[in-house]
Amino acid sequence: MSGQRVDVKVVMLGKEYVGKTSLVERYVHDRFLVGPYQNTIGAAFVAKVMSVGDRTVTLGIWDTAGSERYEAMSRIYYRGAKAAIVCYGKRVSSPVLEQEVGCARLASDSPSPWLCLLHAASQDLTDSSSFERAKFWVKELRSLEEGCQIYLCGTKSDLLEEDRRRRRVDFHDVQDYADNIKAQLFETSSKTGQSVDELFQKVAEDYVSVAAFQEMTEDKGVDLGQKANPYFYSCCHH
Ligand SMILES: Nc1nc2c(ncn2[C@@H]2O[C@H](COP(=O)(O)OP(=O)(O)OP(=O)(O)O)[C@@H](O)[C@H]2O)c(=O)[nH]1
């Protein structure tokens, strides 16, 4: 990656355990890692080269740590980002969590496996909502990073496929919220790969559209007809 130019800085934001690292893993390496949950410390960076039509676009993806302990660091990583993928998870009912929590406990190398169990449980069973945390990041980005396009991402959709009653964040409520903040909404599964490529492809396509629009306005002035597109519209305000 050294010397390679990154076209689009993308930052992954969202509560711990929501599935940000898994999303990046699925997109970049097309794999879903099973095993004990390993929280991100600080942030991780990866770049991926992709095509949009006849253009080559390099996404530079910063995967931040979801733990509130690292909140100040996440702020450093979203500076100058052109796109933010803000993740929220559907809260799921206890059978799945018990399974996940159990895995964390059994597989842990920790000398105190019960501490590990309690830690994992507190992240979902007693957690109010990762959606609230997503809103927190959206608010920050809106006020501090106006040039950053936001993509809301509902993760772990495979868990819902198993049982629709597990849905805790209503899709239509989120869609309304996404419309209000002019964000695009995706529901993904890193386990099955559902909509993961589409999400990152959209990020790159939007970058190419905006770059083309900027070139056009620099050369020929603004075509007001283009402002019917909400993405161009918000772009014109930056
Ligand atoms: N079933 C299912 N589990 C998932 C999915 N994505 C992530 N997970 C699981 O959820 C747990 C947390 O995933 P991570 O990707 O590490 O979460 P994160 O948001 O990066 O967490 P932090 O690094 O703490 O911020 C792991 O045990 C994953 O295997 C998914 O799409 N489906």
Range scoring the smallest mean pLDDT among 88-92, 94-98, 206-210: 94-98
- Give, using CA atoms, the residue closest to atom 32 of ligand 1: 156
Task: Examine residue 116 and state whether it is found in any structural domain, yes or no.
Answer: no
Residue 47 counted as domain residue: yes
ipTM of the complex, rounded to two decimals:
0.99
Residue 158, ligand 1, Cβ within 6 A = yes
Tell me whether residue 235 is in a domain. Answer: no
Nearest protein CA to atom 14 of ligand 1, as residue: 19
Q: Is 111 within the bounds of a domain? A: no
The residue whose CB lies within 8 Å of the most ligand 1 atoms, and thus the one to mutate among 15, 16, 22, 88, is: 22
The CATH number linked to 23 is 3.40.50.300
- Beta-bridge mates of residue 56: 51
Give the total number of structural domains in the chain: 1
Structural domain contains residue 193: yes
Q: How far is the CA of 91 from the centre of ligand 1 (A)?
A: 13
Name the least confident of 95-104, 121-130, 168-177. Answer: 95-104
Residues 6+ apart with CB under 8 A from 162: 96
**Where in the sequence is the domain holding 192, given as residue range(s)?**
8-92+127-219
74 has pLDDT over 70: yes
pLDDT value, residue 167: 60
